[in-house]
Amino acid sequence: MSDHTYKNPLVFTVVHIFEPGLQANCAVFKKEEDAVQAGYLIIQENAKSYGFDADDLIQKHGVNVFDKWHSITSHRERIQIFQNPINVINK
């Protein structure tokens, strides 16, 4: 069995799940700020189709906008940011 080691730095993964068919896009960043910015860009790209102004949503909710986005989109989209260690598998 392989042994696992965890190395720094941590990475931040942005996951955007959306309909139809529960499609998923994800991206990995070294900095949390970059991951948050990517999440904001997803909202800016899609907010108009739900009748919302992205800048107003982001200003009103800040980083919590990702938690609200699922409700705002009537459960059709979800954006989450995960903090992940880099997993190195030694064989």
**DSSP class per residue in 20-63:** TTTEEEEEEESSHHHHHHHHHHHHHHHGGGGT--HHHHHHHHGG
pLDDT of residue 1: 38
What crossing angle do the helices spanning 54-61 and 65-72 adopt, rounded to 10°? 130
Chain length of the chain: 91
State residue 69 phi and psi, 5-degree precision. Answer: -55, -35
* Interval 32-88: pLDDT, tens: 999 999 999 999 999 999 999 999 999 999 888 999 999 999 999 999 999 988 776
